[in-house]
Amino acid sequence: MPKCENLKKVLMIGSGPIIIGQAAEFDYAGTQACKAIREEGIECVLVNSNPATIMTDEGIADKVYMEPLTEEALEAIIAKERPEGVLAGFGGQTGLNLAMELEGKGVFAKYGAVLLGVNRDSIRRAEDRDEFKTLMREIGEPVPGSIIATEMEACRAFVAEVGYPVIIRPAYTLGGTGGGIATNDEELNTLVTSGIENSAIGQILLEESVAGWKEIEYEVMRDAKDNCITVCGMENFDPVGVHTGDSIVVAPIQTLRDFEYQMLRDAALKIIRSLDIEGGCNVQFALDPETSNYIVIEVNPRVSRSSALASKAAGYPIAKLAAKIALGYSLDELKNYVTGETSACFEPTLDYCVVKFPKWPFDKFKTASRRLGTQMKATGEVMSISRTFESALLKAITSLEIKLEGLRVPSIMKLADEALIAKIEARDDERIFAIAEAMRRGRERSGTDPRFTRDAIFELTKVDRWFLSKVDRIVKMEQTLARAKGKLNAEIIYEAEEIGFTDNEILELSGAKREVLLDIRAVNDIYPVYKMVDTCGGEFEALTPYYYSCFDAEDETRVSDEKKILIVGSGPIRIGQGIEFDYCCVRGVWAIKEFGYEAIIINNNPETVSTDFDTSDKLYFEALHIDDVMNVIKKERPQGIILQFGGQTSLNLAEELDRRGINILGTSFESIDLAEDREKTTEFLAGLGIQTPPGASVTTKEAAFEAVGRLGYPLVVRPSYVIGGRAMQVVYTDHELLEYLTEAVSLSDEHPVLIDKYILGKEIEVDAISDGTDILIPGIMEHVERTGVHSGDSISVYPPHTIPQSVQDTLVDYTNRITRGLGVVGLVNVQYAWDGKDVYVIEVNPRASRTVPIISKVTGVPMVRLAIAAMLGYPLKDSGFGTGLYPSKNLTAVKVPVFSGAKLTDVDIALGPEMKSTGEVLGVDTTFEKACYKGFLASGVHIPLEGSFYVRLKDPDKNAASLEVVRAYAKEGFSILSHGGTLTYLQENEIDVAEASAKEAKTMIAEGKITIVLDVPTVANNPGTDSFEVRRYAIERNLPVLTCVDTAEAFLLALRMKKHGDQPDYRSLEEYVRR
Amino acid sequence: MEGLLYLENGSVYRGKGFGAPGSNVGELVFNTSMTGYQGILTDPSYMGQIINMTYPLIGNYGVSEVDNQSGGIHAFGFVTRDITFRPSNRMSVMSINEWLEQQGVPGIYNVDTRAITKKIRTEGTIKCVISNEGISVGQAKDMIGKTELRTDYMREAGVRERAICKGVAGEGQNDRSRGAGLRIAVLDFGIKRNIISGLTDRGCEVTMYPYGTTAEEILALNPDGLFLSNGPGDPEACGLGVKTTRELLGRLPIFGICMGHQVIALAAGGRTYKLKFGHRGANHGVIDLETGKSAITSQNHSFAVDKDSITVKDMVVTHLNLNDGTVEGMRHKTLPVFSVQYHPEGSPGPNDSQYLFDRFVKMVREYKK
């Protein structure tokens, strides 16, 4: 029984929006924790501003407050709800920092609540660098020489003593924001300054660098009885120097002798005990491979990205158990949920190898520095499981969806020797491929080139020789296949498969025909088998149906006789394809079960709820590659497969699956193709009498300029088949167009470039469910920013507040006709533009969208469930929700995007057609103004009430509307600053404005004089320009940087609410929806 | 070199061979430790057994000069999913392949070790043949038929004659003053080096006695305490060990580990029984009933002590396995005697229970006063 008998109601703090360093893993952890609390009959109240999450959906917590994660909001909610306990260890650094503040101010005590699982002292000792070091020294654990600094002088003195390199780590930040390794005075200056600024307490740790040592992590758990276990030890492929979030991570630990393993395990246990943590904790070590000396790098006194990974890698639900411990249970009282029989007080043993590979956003941020360091840059990750490291690595690469299925990257293979070595030294996201090429050259030269031996590459990278040997084994297999030209046989194929080669790789390397490979495969029965993740290496029988593929003798899947449906997941979190698709997959699973089918999911993202061991009836942890999906289908023989929930990832499989005769449930491949092919769509819509922006599809530059002649500027240009508006741009001149074409066409050879007339107006999004006959539109969302800003980056509002009823009627009519005409069954998302006169269709997405979870939550219409019902043939009209446009709820919801702008240096934060945000929050209230205020609050943007307003406008924005906005800021007491053309324009229009050059502006930003920046660039993504510099400078200093006049207008509403309005009223989502 | 694993029930697993060419008959067991293959192979308790590792990647960090738990490999064969021929660790002096070759032990790899583990789980530990010299299934079947599995390896796995043990300098650090001046007699059924270190690191003087040593012979040198070691085989085949122990109960403070624990149970009049497939690994939780706290333990045993049979013989069960509730530790109600089924010395495995050595040293010290 729980120790804390008095707990009747517990409040849980979520992690808020997804940003780099704090992603879907907290939805996973929080969802588990909510479920664990409710299982005990305790009421769970959740506060989280992130609308895309599963945890904020119905059925997870008893009550959801989709309110900003601020002290004020939390206090108001606690005062209202009066929980006996508060769980703060599941909301990442955000939740923890907030809880620290509230505890420090005595808020919990004031309302009779206690902080469960963590206490303020332990958080402080773990997170405050100075206190942590003192504690480590007290318990005899080694820490590197270091100082805590709040200013530059002390840092210079420290370096004078210990020399370079040194590491700068800001205290209390996410994903190591502002940290880095300095090897000279200049770098020291930059990093120390940004580190101090990024720290919540203006403090950094400057320490001796142990770069090059092995980086090892342990996930540790402890209960109130002081029982301690390590759930999983993990080893980074990349030695110390690369943030663990940006490292390839392997589980279990591979290269430590038992003595070293136990030495670090002992230390990890000692540390969690000394911190008195009850729950989960992550301890990172650096181990010197030359001496086995080690140091403690850091501790996360909460569940984390690593604990999510460890949970999935080991099959041990850390968050669930941490929640149980927080409620008072001890480990020995709890069961291993995977075996159902044995104790939770044990250490999982793996009989497979797990590889985690980060997913970076560099394909979107072409100007970003790809160099990896102590600041995390990845937006997501994939995990793969296999019986060999080689296979797990190659599966992970395939799962990344970077058009690679192996270690051969043509651009790297073309590099000259010196350039290759330089590439390896640059330590960027492609290093492993460069290492592979070096090993390849070593082999090709039969080991005679001393630059490309295993030892030489080790010296260059400090990547353990064991890992290098494994890479070498893959390279060796490439050569074997190349030599097998025409003589491909079963033995070679099996061996290649065993270490993870895909069919495409085998074919490409061997030059064999696909039929030959398939024949050999069929005759010799060379197919993968599936093995179970069971926490115990097969020692006990396990209940959980969690499988991975491998090439081995025995298959242990238990295929049932039930009717079953397979859902294809959405893979790693990336910009443009985030957690919302996991939401849809999970809701899909629940609905499938509800309709009496067995629900099977295939996915590879370790951070998500969809890959939790008890979400689906069966989980296949696999790459979302056609071969892997087909293998699962071959094994399970599902009645149908659902592709519309996994975003573009799953949708992209439609053609291949259709060709193989697989039953795609819902919208057919023909319809998907019709919607995805611009030319076909335009033709189709024209047939319905619906306008699209006039445009052309071109494959050559000549054709492009010919189109310009017809359409005129401005134009929207983009490649076909896009995710998140990748490589999309508004161009105003020939020069811009030419520059774009040179880049975009090389980006996408197979698909033509689309050139559309840019429609200036309102952008509106409609999500609908269709059963083939009727549609239901639960809600319409209107964008605040005008067309040209990616829908993912726009502030959007439900219900629309400036769209006339007649236009809304048109939208419903159009959506109805499009949906029927296309033959959509399930979900569809249509994006419209309205220029004040006409309605145009910009995009039709025959799949789930970013807005599905938002609309589902604010309207109470279970969109995914209805979509599944429609796919299974249940008519919408019987659903109880009606058809047509669902009546608007008496509330306003404002979605505000959240950017990780401060994390990626050299990236422009200006809004444009290319999506840049990593997450979003929802502000919900009774009016647009109030909801807008809450939205901005929740997004973490600082809302200043005074200071200077620095403004620069692009030419098309120099108009009356913009002047109104600037005047309004002046009226609120802001002094206006500007320069260049904007200055003249403002002066001409009699606005009281002072001049500040870009340089002066930067100084004033640093001095805290300028508090808001409105800078609308003509061309974004142009590092080196004045305005780029100012935007970067301001964003890195946490200023609100507005890059669209419409945003500035909305921000003004929030600012006014803050200044003149009452304190917001905080209510549960249910209270708003039920009004 | 082809590898073959043939099970008494007719199951055949084929893979590749490594290590020394040869064919051995033994009892097939599985071990779930993810690290420490060197300590496992050299643990004398594995004598007569063929070890199937559940962790698939073996040999990663090679073989060192410091990790042996005895003079050499005692296991009769080694079965793995994959092995590393080019290991990486500063302490590595050779690869696992070279080591097995040097030690004359046959190994096979590239077999489905998980399938084998599940077979053992469902059918129990089983007699098998490991071969990597190309014998046929028929020959393997013949070998199995002709070979009787021995259960009394504890009689020869330890020292052959009395030996003073200075102890091997362990990599761990301990306060030597705790056991300084205490003389511990060890009845050696196949002890692991780290157990000796557990005593000598605490300053104890350790004298090893071979199987068959009588109580009088031990008492003749006037020791302060008796330690009963781990070892291979069925405790019921350890007759002389049981007899000596019975005679020393109440005359010396006694601590037993693994086989030693089972011998104490038999000496006290209790019973032991064979588990279906034993406990071998480094991850089982064990609860100390007297403190209420649990520890993660290293385990290697086929037999267990029958709970009901010892509680009527003045023994108190002190530790239980959290997974299956089997007896993991006991003490005598009145006499200074206690024991554990698991391995507090780890090697491989957690050091969580090192405190038991301190408890023993303290017990001996107090008894001496």
Burial A4-21, CB ≥16 within 10 A → b, else e:
beebebbbbbbbbbbbbb
Q: Is A1021 left (phi over 0), alpha (psi -120 to 50) or beta?
A: left
Would you call B171 and A537 a contact, using CB atoms and an 8 Å cutoff? no
Predicted local distance difference test score (pLDDT) of residue A506: 96
- Model confidence at A771: pLDDT above 80: yes
Interval A587-592 mean pLDDT: 97
- Would you tell me which residues 270-309 of chain B have a C-beta closer than 8 angstroms to some C-beta of chain A? 281-285, 287, 292-296
Tokens of A934: 């809450």
In a mutagenesis test of the A interface, which of B16, B88, B109 is the best target, namely the one with the most A β-carbons within 10 Å?
B88
Would you call A261 and B35 a contact, using CB atoms and an 8 Å cutoff? yes
Cα torsion A817, A819, A823, A829 to 10°: value is 160
Helices marked H in chain B — which ranges? 37-41, 96-103, 113-123, 137-146, 154-157, 193-200, 215-220, 239-248, 259-267, 307-311, 355-368
- B59 close to A (CB below 8 A): no
Closest by Cβ to A349, choosing from B82, B84, B281: B281
Q: B343 an active-site residue?
A: yes
Predicted local distance difference test score (pLDDT) of residue A725: 47
Give me the percent of chain A exceeding a pLDDT of 90: 78
Mind listing the pLDDT tens digit for each residue in A1031-1063? 988 988 889 999 999 999 999 999 999 999 888
ipTM of the modeled complex: 0.97
Interval A169-175 mean pLDDT: 68
Calculate how close chain B gets to A27, using CA atoms only, in Å: 29
| CB distance B229 to B188 below 8 Å | yes
Closest by Cβ to A346, choosing from B34, B284, B292: B284
Predicted local distance difference test score (pLDDT) of residue A524: 95
Query: How far apart, in whole angstroms, are the C-alpha atoms of residue A1055 and residue A1047?
Result: 12
For chains A and B, what is the number of CB pairs under 8 angstroms? 173
Strand partners for B255: B227, B338
Mind listing the pLDDT tens digit for each residue in A354-378? 999 999 999 888 778 899 988 899 9
Mind listing the pLDDT tens digit for each residue in B78-126? 999 999 999 999 999 999 999 999 999 999 999 999 999 999 999 999 9
Do A9-116 and A553-664 share a fold?
A: yes
Predicted local distance difference test score (pLDDT) of residue A375: 85
Query: How far apart, in whole angstroms, are the C-alpha atoms of residue A682 and residue A692?
Result: 6
Would you call B112 and A552 a contact, using CB atoms and an 8 Å cutoff? yes
Query: How far apart, in whole angstroms, are the C-alpha atoms of residue A826 and residue A119?
Result: 47
Predicted local distance difference test score (pLDDT) of residue A211: 87
Closest by Cβ to A332, choosing from B117, B285, B351: B285
- Would you tell me which residues 331-390 of chain A have a C-beta closer than 8 angstroms to some C-beta of chain B? 331-332, 341-343, 345-353, 387-389
At the fourth CATH level, the homologous superfamily of domain A145-209 is: ATP-grasp fold, A domain (3.30.1490.20)
Of B34, B70, B27, nearest to B53 by C-alpha is B34
pLDDT category of residue B171 using cuts at 50, 70 and 90: very low
- Model confidence at B167: pLDDT above 80: no
Predicted local distance difference test score (pLDDT) of residue A695: 86
Decide if domain A942-1060 falls under CATH 3.40.50.300.
no
- Would you tell me which residues 689-718 of chain A have a C-beta closer than 8 angstroms to some C-beta of chain B? none
Neighbours of B121 (CB within 10 A): 16
Q: Among A597-611, A720-734, A956-970, B195-209, name the one with the lowest average pLDDT.
A: A720-734
**Annotated active-site residue in B74, B258, B301, B319:** B258
Predicted local distance difference test score (pLDDT) of residue A698: 85
Grouping H, G, I as helix, E, B as strand and the rest as coil, residue B107 is strand
Query: Which are the contacts of A536, defined by CB distance < 8 A and separation ≥ 6?
Result: A336, A338, A339, A342, A346, A348, A349, A542, B32, B283
- Would you tell me which residues 528-587 of chain A have a C-beta closer than 8 angstroms to some C-beta of chain B? 531, 536-541, 552-554, 556
Query: How far apart, in whole angstroms, are the C-alpha atoms of residue A78 and residue B45?
Result: 59
Mind listing the pLDDT tens digit for each residue in A19-44? 988 989 999 999 999 999 999 999 99
Closest by Cβ to A255, choosing from B60, B293, B349: B60
- Model confidence at B70: pLDDT above 90: yes
**Phi, psi for A465 (deg, rounded to 5):** -60, -30
Predicted local distance difference test score (pLDDT) of residue A722: 53
Domains, chain B, in order of start with CATH, read: 2-146 (3.50.30.20), 154-368 (3.40.50.880)
In a mutagenesis test of the B interface, which of A351, A461, A533 is the best target, namely the one with the most B β-carbons within 10 Å?
A351
| A620-A380-A798 Cα angle (round to 5) | 100
pLDDT category of residue A1029 using cuts at 50, 70 and 90: confident
- Share in percent of chain B as helix, strand, coil (round to 5): 25, 35, 40
Of B198, B124, B194, B189, nearest to B160 by C-alpha is B189
Mind listing the pLDDT tens digit for each residue in A609-660? 999 989 999 999 999 999 999 999 999 999 999 999 999 999 999 999 999 9
Q: Which residues of B touch A352 (CB under 8 A)?
A: 56
Q: Which residues of B touch A387 (CB under 8 A)?
A: 56, 81-82
- Model confidence at A906: pLDDT above 80: no
Cα torsion A1061, A1063, A1064, A1068 to 10°: value is -160
Q: Among A158-172, A647-661, A685-699, B312-326, name the one with the lowest average pLDDT.
A: A158-172
Q: Which CATH class is domain A553-664?
A: alpha beta
Every domain of chain A and the residues it spans = 9-116, 145-209, 553-664, 666-691+760-889, 694-758, 942-1060
Q: Which residues of B touch A255 (CB under 8 A)?
A: 60-61, 88-89
Cis peptide leading into residue A317 (ω within 30°): no
Tell the CATH topology of A9-116: Rossmann fold (3.40.50)
At position A337, the amino acid (one-letter code) is Y
Would you call A538 and B296 a contact, using CB atoms and an 8 Å cutoff? no
CATH architecture of A694-758: 2-Layer Sandwich (3.30)
Mind listing the pLDDT tens digit for each residue in A95-147? 999 999 999 999 999 999 999 987 888 888 988 878 998 999 999 999 988 88
Helix or strand (DSSP H, E) at A1013: strand A1010-1015
Q: Which residues of B touch A234 (CB under 8 A)?
A: none
Query: How far apart, in whole angstroms, are the C-alpha atoms of residue A218 and residue A233?
Result: 4
- Would you tell me which residues 773-802 of chain A have a C-beta closer than 8 angstroms to some C-beta of chain B? none
A993-995, strands of its sheet edge to edge:
A993-995, A975-978, A948-952, A1010-1015, A1041-1042
| CB distance A286 to A304 below 8 Å | no
In a mutagenesis test of the A interface, which of B65, B89, B286, B342 is the best target, namely the one with the most A β-carbons within 10 Å?
B89
Closest by Cβ to A255, choosing from B39, B89, B322: B89
Grouping H, G, I as helix, E, B as strand and the rest as coil, residue A881 is coil
- Would you tell me which residues 160-179 of chain B have a C-beta closer than 8 angstroms to some C-beta of chain A? 171
Query: How far apart, in whole angstroms, are the C-alpha atoms of residue B92 and residue B94?
Result: 6
Q: Which CATH class is domain A666-691+760-889?
A: alpha beta
- A225 close to B (CB below 8 A): yes
Q: B345 an active-site residue?
A: yes
Nearest CA in chain A to B325: A342
Closest by Cβ to A353, choosing from B38, B56, B87: B56
